[in-house]
């Protein structure tokens, strides 16, 4: 009901003069709070006017953007959050590339419209299926009948609504859908999940990354730096005995939660592997660094390979897996976004100057 009042007010002000401006209403929560819902995070932003449809998103024309806006408005009219709008656009991209298609295919010769909805009555008449607003409304009503759809990975939620032969078919369209929703919803779409994944409770995989840096382990102290280390007292006269290829942090009390130190894409997950134990390797979204974080508690990982996580996203619990003598976080830095995450440790660089520049040390 609140959404309808805002839409009416916007129309009165002339904001809806084009007929398909998307209005997304605040739900009073933050993106971080809402991110616990995988498919349908909310937003704390206000409505904005979208850019021109001719060049709003590369590769999509005015007709496609208008159809996307119709999908998003249908979700808003039903009181659904921005995450549902994103799912609708993602589904239509996977079915018709956001075009009102008047033909089917081998699997569904009677399929029609933005969502390639089939004849038979479940999706309405031919005219209903060819109408962007009506077909989108029917899609969202069917989506709401999928049990727990808000907590499902978006491609699975769409699959259970559309019954595509391949449940992962829609994954590839998530990033494009995110760009379109942002273009049409402006800042109201900040906080949507661009990855299309649904990680464990408490993790945030978001599409709007801020590029900030945070401490990887709250309340921890730096216990070991990068470079050559002396052997323990009483061994070989204290000569330099080994080289430490990373930097260590440890909490003095109970084990803490290790978080992403900056925005990154997870490219490797290790579970009780050799020297490293349990941990992750991520490549920063700007492509400048690859960062590995190790020795977490077995079974505590909250992300998986392919997730894109923002700074501060929980990754796992500080532990002592692998070849260690006590509980701590070990971080290694490598220059660049490396194609092979299984890189030798002697290719590391000293994290110290970077961490000092970012205010971590």
pLDDT tens digits for range 239-290: 445 889 999 999 998 899 999 999 888 888 888 877 889 999 998 888 889 9
261 in the same domain as 162: no
Question: Quick count: other Cβ atoms within 10 Å of Cβ 74?
Answer: 23
Structure tokens belonging to residue 31: 């993106």
209 in any annotated domain: no
Query: For 139-188, how does the pLDDT look when each residue is reduced to its tens digit (9 = 90+)?
Result: 999 999 998 888 788 888 899 999 887 888 888 888 888 888 888 864 34
Query: For 212-238, how does the pLDDT look when each residue is reduced to its tens digit (9 = 90+)?
Result: 899 999 999 999 999 987 665 555 444
Residue 99 CA to residue 78 CA, distance in Å, equals 22
Q: Which domain-ending residue is among 189, 209, 238? A: 189
pLDDT band at 41 (very low <50, low <70, confident <90, very high): very low
Helices (H), the chain: 2-12, 31-34, 62-77, 82-96, 126-130, 132-144, 154-162, 174-185, 352-357
Query: For 83-92, how does the pLDDT look when each residue is reduced to its tens digit (9 = 90+)?
Result: 788 899 999 9
277 in any annotated domain: yes
Percent of the chain clearing pLDDT 90 (strictly above): 37
269 in any annotated domain: yes
204 in any annotated domain: no
154 in the same domain as 255: no
Asked whether the predicted pLDDT for residue 52 surpasses 50, the reply is no
178 in the same domain as 306: no
- Higher confidence at residue 294 or residue 275? 294
293 in the same domain as 174: no
What per-residue confidence (pLDDT) applies to 188?
45
Q: Which domain-ending residue is among 147, 172, 189? A: 189
- Higher confidence at residue 248 or residue 336? 248
165 in the same domain as 235: no
85 in the same domain as 27: yes
Give the domain extent around 327. 221-357
What per-residue confidence (pLDDT) applies to 344?
65
196 in any annotated domain: no
Total tally of structural domains belonging to the chain: 2
259 in any annotated domain: yes
226 in the same domain as 183: no
What per-residue confidence (pLDDT) applies to 343?
61
pTM: 0.47
234 in the same domain as 182: no
């Amino acid at each position: 009901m609140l959404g309808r009042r805002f839409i009416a007010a916007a129309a009165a002000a002339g904001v809806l003069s084009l007929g398909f401006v998307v209005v997304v209403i605040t739900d009073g929560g933050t993106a971080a709070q809402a991110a616990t819902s995988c498919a349908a995070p909310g937003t704390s932003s206000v409505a904005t006017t979208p850019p021109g449809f001719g060049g709003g998103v590369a590769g999509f024309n005015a007709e496609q953007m208008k159809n996307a806006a119709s999908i998003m408005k249908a979700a808003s009219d039903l009181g659904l959050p921005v995450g549902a709008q994103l799912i609708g656009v993602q589904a239509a991209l996977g079915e018709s590339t956001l075009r009102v298609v008047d033909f089917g295919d081998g699997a569904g010769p009677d399929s029609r419209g933005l969502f390639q909805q089939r004849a038979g009555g479940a999706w309405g008449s031919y005219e209903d299926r060819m109408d962007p607003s009506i077909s989108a409304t029917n899609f969202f009503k069917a989506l709401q009948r999928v049990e727990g759809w808000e907590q499902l990975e978006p491609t699975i939620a769409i699959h259970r609504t559309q019954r595509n032969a391949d449940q992962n078919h829609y994954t590839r369209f998530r990033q494009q859908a995110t760009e379109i929703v942002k273009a049409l919803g402006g800042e109201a779409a900040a906080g949507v999940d661009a990855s299309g994944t649904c990680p464990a409770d408490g993790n945030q995989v978001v599409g709007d990354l801020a590029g900030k840096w945070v401490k990887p382990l709250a309340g921890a102290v730096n216990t070991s730096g990068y470079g050559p280390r002396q052997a323990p007292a009483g061994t070989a006269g204290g000569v330099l005995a080994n080289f430490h290829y990373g930097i260590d942090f440890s909490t003095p009390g109970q084990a803490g939660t290790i978080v992403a130190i900056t925005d990154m894409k997870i490219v490797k997950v290790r579970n009780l592997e050799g020297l490293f134990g349990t941990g992750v390797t991520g490549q920063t979204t700007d492509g400048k660094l690859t960062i590995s974080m190790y020795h977490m508690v077995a079974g505590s990982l909250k992300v998986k390979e392919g997730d894109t996580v923002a700074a501060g996203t929980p990754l796992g619990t500080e532990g002592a897996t692998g070849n260690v003598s006590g509980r701590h976080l070990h971080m290694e830095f490598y220059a660049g976004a490396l194609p092979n995450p299984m890189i030798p440790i002697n290719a590391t660089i000293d994290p110290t100057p970077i961490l000092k520049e970012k205010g971590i040390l």
